[in-house]
Amino acid sequence: MKLNQRILTSAILILLGLVIAMVPENTTRPYKLTPQQMVEEISIGTEMIQPDELADWLINNDPTLQLIDVRDPDAFDQFHLPGAVNIPLKDLLSDEWVDYLDQDVKMNVLYSNGTTKAHNCWMILDQLGYENNYVLQGGLNYWVETILNPQKPGAAVSDDELARYDFRKGASQALGGGIQTASPAVDKPKKAKPPVKRRKKKKAPEGGC
């Protein structure tokens, strides 16, 4: 058991090292977290948003929600969540997107087909000191499976499971699912950027890095 934990910790540290290397040196210096600090943040898992939570926010048109699709433009054009903004991973550090990713008005939910790419983006943004960024658990694949095409549970299930299925069935109808076996068609977002309030930059701590 201890051996498996050591292997997992080593894998996480290697991944974090690669992520840290992607962040420009002149921006990492004020905010740079140690690998151990990042491991602790990931272990807590507070950055993850469950599909049911996101479905509820979309149905209720939560004005604080901003969806960030980190896939390439071709995949985004084929299918994306309603109102999402396309910021591919390769463009994540572009000045064009700073007002989206570094602000305190909207709650950004990053997503890709799975979880890995979006989570890598989150780690980079966290390393830069950007706040209010989260990751959709399971990505689009899990979203389609659980929200757009929920499977009816069997007879011997708890009341909570039945209530969850009823919610997902209603969410599927509200969000255009229910009959799709592939990515459903959704309205494309407008090209104009939504207004965001620029957050003041954090000051570097005194006494060095």
Q: Is the pLDDT of residue 21 over 60?
A: no
Is pLDDT larger for residue 205 or for residue 73? 73
Q: Is the pLDDT of residue 81 over 70?
A: yes
| Rounded Cα distance, 85 and 76, in Å | 9
Would you place residue 149 in the very low, low, confident or very high pLDDT band (cuts 50, 70, 90)? very high
CATH class of 46-143: alpha beta
**Structural domain spans, the chain:** 46-143
Q: Are 179 and 157 in contact (CB under 8 A)?
A: no
Q: Is 43 helix (H, G, I), strand (E, B) or coil?
A: helix
Determine if the pTM surpasses 0.85.
Answer: no
Q: Is the dihedral of CA 98, 100, 104, 108 positive or negative?
A: negative
Residue 153's pLDDT is 85
Q: Is the pLDDT of residue 165 over 90?
A: yes
Q: Are 117 and 70 in contact (CB under 8 A)?
A: yes
- Helix or strand run (H / E) with residue 61: none
